[in-house]
A and B are shown apart, each in its own frame.
Chain A
Amino acid sequence: MSAEQVTTRRETGVAGVSALDRLGYRLQRLPLHLVIIIFCAVWIVPTIGMSINSFRSVSDMGQAGWWTTLFPPHGFSLASYQQVLNIEGVVPSIVNSVLITVPATVIQLAIATMGAYAFAWMNFRGKNLFFIVIVGLMVVPIQMTLIPVLQFFKVVGLNGTIVAVWLAHSGYGLPFEVFLLRNYLGGLPREIFESAEVDGAGHAVRFLRIAVPMTIPAIASLTIFVFLGVWNDLLVALTYLGTSPNRPFTVVITQLVTSLGGGWQFLTAAAVLQMALPLAVFIFLQRYFVRGITSGSVKG
């Protein structure tokens, strides 16, 4: 037996064992992959199924489940979308959702940034107490405020207007935003503000020229968060707008679900339209979205 043969045998031997090892390792990890795949399926299939159903006619939906469209004849149709968009009040309600969400987001973030600056860079009597109240308000259920605020809106004649919803959303969102932005602003380097002060810059300049530009990353994450929160809101709009023509899309969908009882299936189209914006935001702005969530909760 030559030396050459021995080495080759040994090499193949080693290779054989490691391949077997690798196979064993793979097999060992198979349950892990299976569990993950099951979780992913449970979390993703319902949305896919409902979205597929929205592209089928209502009579098809009543005869067979969404999975039958995976095989020909697919039988896709836009009938549900036509039906939903033709219901009186649906198209205006989508416009209302935009008209409610954009100003409500701008108003509360503008006010919150200014308030957060005061809490981060100024000293005043009662500051800690005020801020503890704000921390406490972050968890107060808005249910505690609905009745007096509703009565207030009725007295001042704002009940049923979009201005009422802007104001209410702004009030409800402020504690969390002030808290988060104050932590962010407070983390900025003190030297920058001090040297600006030495150069004679007043608080207005320090706030507008230094604080706000440096806080843009935090404001951007918050904007996404607040925007989606208001877009997806049901309770606030339901309480202050109810059946008013100014009510947003979520309220109209809900009222259709409860009033239709039986033939609600075509509302799949409405649900897809309603969630299209949040999903697009999530997919395209994922990094900001997740950053917003983690920074808000881990510190809070």
Chain B
Amino acid sequence: MGNQIITAVIAVIAVPLALLGYIIVGEQIIERLSDTLQKWIRPYFWALPAVGFATVFMVYPLLRTVVISFRNNDDTDWIGLANYKYFFTFPDTLTSLRNSLLWLVFYTSISVFLGLVIAILLDRVRYESLAKIAIFLPVPISAVAASIIWKFMFDYQPPGTPQTGTLNALLGSFGQQPVAWLVNSTTNNAALIFVGIWTITGFCMVIISASLKAISTEVLEAARIDGANEFRIVQLIVTPLLWPTITVVGTTMIINALKTFDIVYVMTNGAYDTDVIATQMFSQLEHNHYSRAAAVGVVLFLAIVPLLIVNIRRFQQQEEQR
């Protein structure tokens, strides 16, 4: 433990110092070179640490994972699409695919929709900033802590015994039977997705609210004077103006949905048919089925590729406007 602390302190001080040294010494050397050589070499020298890190930890592994997915588990021979065939035929992995699709549809649409609705509603009251804190509160909370929070909400005791879970106690007060939310396969995926929505709605709300504030009040006042009611204003003016922001938030949520891991891993560990692609991949990894895990990873990546292209397009458009 003592050693660890020393290593950490050294890292915190030494890494910035090393970078400082790299910059100063490197620049000293570069400045002695001829002008043309300077112009050529300097940018690469500055970009090298960042590009190097990204290459070692992202670009190379990405390519390597694609290769591994076509190899056998000992990495000694090519086995074609066998790992993918396994993924698309084995019932357990198909369940995880179905669940990820459920996450994709419901987590994305509901969190963005609630974020929009709450942002619009809060815009109309005086205690907006206070209410925002309440909705935003789960965002900084880790998925691990959120899972424990919701394990209590979903807690189930057999009928007849006192219900300590908040939801089942509520049901009981309406004279309903308790529900085993996380075990029952008709409710458990919905329950997990709701936890995901609960942790992210504040995030969607804050971003949408920021662009809502940018809409000029004159436009809204003009519409009100013309006799438009609030629903028409939201439908015909506010939502179209917010649309670019909504699509940005929506893409982020789709990526989040596909990458979902923590909540499922902590709350059910994929049991009772709640597995998603990312937890399925992790369990393959835990069982040392590296090439199968790689194939699952590639499937996840392929699902994200269209969004990656959308992001790059949007970036290029922004660059043209700069």
Contact = CB atoms under 8 A, between A and B. Distances in A.
Nearest to A128: B319
B149 A271 contact: yes
B38 to A, nearest CB: 10
Nearest to B1: A92
A133 B68 CA distance: 22
Contacts of A294: 206-207, 210
Interface string B37-71: 00010111011011101101111111011001000
Interface in A131-164: 132-152, 162-163
Interface string A37-51: 001101111110110
B145 A141 contact: no
B252 A46 contact: no
Among B31, B54, B252, B261, residue most surrounded by chain A Cβ atoms (within 10 Å): B54
A223 interface: no
Contacts of B124: 32
A264 interface: yes
A253 interface: yes
Interface of B is mostly: helix
Contacts of B148: 50, 253, 257, 264, 267-268, 270-271
Nearest to B255: A139
B297 A143 contact: yes
B62 A145 contact: yes
A275 B143 CA distance: 10
A136 to B, nearest CB: 5
Interface in B105-149: 114, 118, 121-122, 124-125, 131, 133-145, 147-149
Contacts of B210: 294, 298
A79 interface: no
A42 B308 CA distance: 34
Nearest to B290: A147
A103 B11 contact: yes
B164 A39 contact: no
Contact of A204 (B24, B139, B294, B312): B24
Contacts of B138: 43, 47
A298 B54 contact: no
A32 B269 CA distance: 39
Interface stretch (B12-20, B90-98, B215-223): B12-20
A144 B277 CA distance: 12
B4 A282 contact: no
B163 interface: yes
Interface stretch (B76-84, B176-184, B195-203, B233-241): B195-203
B58 A204 contact: no
B266 A257 contact: yes
Interface string A78-117: 0000000000000010011011001100110011101111
Contact of B57 (A42, A145, A232, A246): A145
A202 B15 contact: no
B104 interface: no
A228 to B, nearest CB: 6
Contacts of B228: none
A235 interface: yes
A23 interface: no
B59 A133 contact: yes
Interface in A34-76: 35-36, 39-40, 42-47, 49-50, 53, 61-67
13 contacts: A32-B125, A67-B169, A98-B8, A103-B15, A114-B46, A143-B259, A202-B31, A204-B24, A234-B261, A254-B265, A281-B140, A290-B136, A298-B210
In the A-B complex, the 8 residue pairs with the smallest Cβ-Cβ separation, listed nearest first, are: A171-B57, A115-B50, A232-B142, A124-B43, A118-B46, A145-B61, A148-B61, A278-B140
Interface of B: 1, 4-5, 7-8, 11-12, 15-16, 19-20, 23-24, 27, 31, 40, 42-44, 46-47, 49-51, 53-54, 56-62, 64-65, 68, 114, 118, 121-122, 124-125, 131, 133-145, 147-153, 162-166, 169, 198, 201-203, 206-207, 210-211, 245, 248-249, 252, 255, 258-259, 261-262, 265-266, 269, 278, 281-282, 285, 290, 293-294, 296-298, 300-301, 304, 307-308, 311-312, 315-316, 318, 322
